[in-house]
């Protein structure tokens, strides 16, 4: 047990999917996994372990923002021996090439979060995905015919940015979208020796001012969940 996770030793599988919303974790467990066991409910940050195509897999909410996901990811790795952490979230697109409902695979994550500077004073550490998880996700997306993009994302501490002009600069530098956890997850995985990947479905287009309807959100979320589970089922 940890201050934030009330699960016994061995309760989590080697791979944990981490949506921001704990209710999304419950939705995934109830609709996509078999033999499900609830494993965590501290602060209602729900976690479950089940199986997909016979493979043991866990899902647990990360909460919103770098500090929240950093706590859960660190404890999952160091206290429960989790090896692969896969964020499945939503993002706002900034690239003109990215369309609503596309999936963005974060090969790298730039950030304004202070966690980088806390770890590496005076140095900009490149936050990157694990190549094995990334290529498994790309293969699964190709097989399913999902529209996807691989590249750099921006992890912001602020959902409501006081300076929207920065999105134009990010787009110029080829950033695909903005979200709030990927760089935090990659930093923790690098520090504690685990593999991480963040993938986000595009629910908003920040530059174009577009937003998904609730039905479209559900549809695209289901597609990303299936993609992720298919990818995980191919891992050793
Ligand atoms: O849909 P999730 O995974 O929560 O991700 C995005 O949505 C939240 C903001 O609404 C932030 O957590 C952001 O990263
Ligand atoms: O962080 C986020 C997530 C979804 N949509 C946004 O615009 N920003």
pTM for the structure as a whole: 0.97
- Phi, psi torsion values for 10, nearest 5 degrees: 80, 5
Residue-wise pLDDT tens digits, 24-36: 999 999 999 999 9
Please choose from 157, 178, 183, 207 the residue to mutate so as to test ligand 2's pocket, defined by most ligand atoms within 8 A of CB: 178
Residue-wise pLDDT tens digits, 53-98: 999 999 999 999 999 999 999 999 999 999 999 999 999 999 999 9
For ligand 1, is residue 179 a contact (CB within 6 Å)?
yes
Report the relative pairing of strands 195-205 and 84-93 from DSSP bridges: parallel
What ipTM was reported for this prediction? 0.98
Cα separation, 229 vs 152, in Å, equals 23
Show the beta-strand stretches assigned E in the chain: 15-18, 34-40, 47-52, 55-60, 84-93, 103-111, 148-155, 177-179, 195-205, 210-211
Res 219: pLDDT: 84
180 marked as part of a ligand binding site: yes
Low-confidence residues of the chain, pLDDT below 50?
A: none
The catalytic site residues sit at: 204
From ligand 1's centre to the CA of 51, what distance in Å? Answer: 25
Pocket of ligand 2 (CB under 6 A): 90-92, 159, 178-180, 203-204, 206
Structure tokens, 225: 């969940």
Please choose from 17, 18, 60, 64 the residue to mutate so as to test ligand 1's pocket, defined by most ligand atoms within 8 A of CB: 64
Q: If one looks up domain 15-233 in CATH, what number appears?
A: 3.40.50.1580
Which residue's alpha carbon is nearest to atom 6 within ligand 2? 92
């Amino acid at each position: 047990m940890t201050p934030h996770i009330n699960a016994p030793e061995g309760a989590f599988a080697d791979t944990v999917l981490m949506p921001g919303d704990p209710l999304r974790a419950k939705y995934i467990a109830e609709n996509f996994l078999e033999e499900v066991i609830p494993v965590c409910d501290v602060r209602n940050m729900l976690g479950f372990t089940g199986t997909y195509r016979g493979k043991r897999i866990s899902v647990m909410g990360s909460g919103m923002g770098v500090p929240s996901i950093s706590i859960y990811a660190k404890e999952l790795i160091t206290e429960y021996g989790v090896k692969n952490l896969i964020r499945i979230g939503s993002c706002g697109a900034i690239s003109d090439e990215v369309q609503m409902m596309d999936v963005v695979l974060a090969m790298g994550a730039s950030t304004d979060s202070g966690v980088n500077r806390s770890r590496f004073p005076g140095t900009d550490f490149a936050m990157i995905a694990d190549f094995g998880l990334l290529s498994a996700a790309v293969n699964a997306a190709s097989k399913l015919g999902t529209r996807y993009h691989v590249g750099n994302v921006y992890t912001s501490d602020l959902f409501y940015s006081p300076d929207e002009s920065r999105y134009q600069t990010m787009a110029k530098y080829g950033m695909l979208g903005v979200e709030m956890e990927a760089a935090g997850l990659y930093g923790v995985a690098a520090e504690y020796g685990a593999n991480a990947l963040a993938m986000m479905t595009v629910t908003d287009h920040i530059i174009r001012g577009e937003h998904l309807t609730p039905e479209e959100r559900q549809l695209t979320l289901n597609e990303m969940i299936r993609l992720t589970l298919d990818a995980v089922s191919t891992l050793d």
